[in-house]
Structure 1
Amino acid sequence: MTRSPSPWLLYGSLVFSLLVLVVPIPGGLGPARPYLLAMLLCYWLLEAPDRIGLGVAFLAGLAADLVAGTLFGEQALRLVVLVFLVQRFRARLRFFPLWQQALAVAALLVNDRLIAAAIQFASGAGLPPWTTWLSPLLAFALWPWMFLLLDELRLRLRERAA
């Protein structure tokens, strides 16, 4: 039995997260949108580190920049930093209870928000609105549900392939 996840599930989930980037959110809550692409990269790095790495993060970030219309390379840089940190601490993160994993992912996304704010400030766009800081909190709340859903899908596809 293979341990690698289905490539359709892995890369399909990343493409889905790119599509979520363009879904309109009412009011001024757009900046509070959880960074689903980063959360999925964290999940896949914990579960299938041999299939996801810095290169995939960089390419996914460039695609996200094109889809979202942000400064080209901004999300690529942010995702490469995030993936590096997850790879560095994977051995610890993998065995955390789910709530501690959610807290660690939220801390990684706060770091991501700090990098994004620094890039925006350096490019002359000014500081982002305060609602951007809600994004890591929403990710903290969504992480356990996303983790359990993807785990269930991954295990079902593995059973079906066996």
Structure 2
Amino acid sequence: MRRTRNNWVLPVSVLLGLLLGLLPLPETLQPLRPYWLALVVAYWVMEGDDRLGLGFAFGVGLVADLAFGSLLGEQALRLTILAFILQRFRTQMRFFPVPQQALAIGGLLLNDRVVNAALHLALGVPQLPWTYWLAPLIGMLLWPPLFVLMDSLRLNRRKGS
């Protein structure tokens, strides 16, 4: 079995992460929306080559700030912090089984909520309701299927010589 790399998966996954973040949801489901872009960036920082690190996370975050209409630099800072922590523990995380990776990703998403709350507090922006703290749990549960899907798309398995 021969493996070939699909170069289209990175831009398409980032675009889908942005679109899923922009997708309108009913008011009751809005707090449960996972941070799709953080999941996509986490995958690429862990599994991509060494070029995909802090600069990649910062660039994607700036695009997200413009797309979501949030404070310029907020998402960029949040994704850069996530990428920094992931880069620090990348070698260990790559050898974790996927369920253990999901727990670590859940912790990173929870850390992202803390950073978001601290930013809102420092800037005097109203805090999000307590139900927004459930989204990291949803993201943690989505990590295993998302990881398997993106890994199979990134590493196309072909039969042949």
TM-score by length of 1: 0.90
Q: Larger deviation: 10-19 or 22-31?
A: 22-31
CA distance 1:6–1:16, change in 2 (3 Å)? same
- Residue of structure 2 equivalent to 1:103: 103
Structure 2 unaligned residues grouped into runs of 5+? none
Tell me the CA shift for residue 3 of structure 1: 8.2
Cα RMSD for the two superposed structures: 2.0
Distance 1:18 1:4 in 2: 26
Distance 2:146 2:89 in 1: 20
**Percent of aligned pairs sharing the same letter:** 50
1:79 equivalent in alignment to 2:79: yes
Pick the structure with more helix per residue: 1
Q: Deviations over 1:16-57 (max 9, x none)?
A: 111111100112322321111111111112211324111111
Distance 1:51 1:3 in 2: 21
Q: Deviations over 1:123-156 (max 9, x none)?
A: 1112211121111100111000001111111222
> 1:29 touches 1:131 (CA, 8 Å); kept in 2?
no
Runs of 4+ that moved beyond 2 A: 2-7
- Residue of structure 2 equivalent to 1:48: 48
Q: Which has the higher contact order (CA 8 A, sep 6+)?
A: 2
Distance 1:132 1:100 in 2: 23
Output the amino acid matched with 1:67: A
Distance 2:4 2:123 in 1: 40
CA distance 1:30–1:4, change in 2 (3 Å)? farther
Distance 1:132 1:42 in 2: 20
- Residue of structure 2 equivalent to 1:26: 26
Output the amino acid matched with 2:145: W
CA distance 1:4–1:46, change in 2 (3 Å)? farther
- Residue of structure 1 equivalent to 2:38: 38
Tell me the CA shift for residue 12 of structure 1: 1.3
Output the amino acid matched with 2:120: Q
Aligned length: 159
- Residue of structure 2 equivalent to 1:125: 125
TM-score by length of 2: 0.91
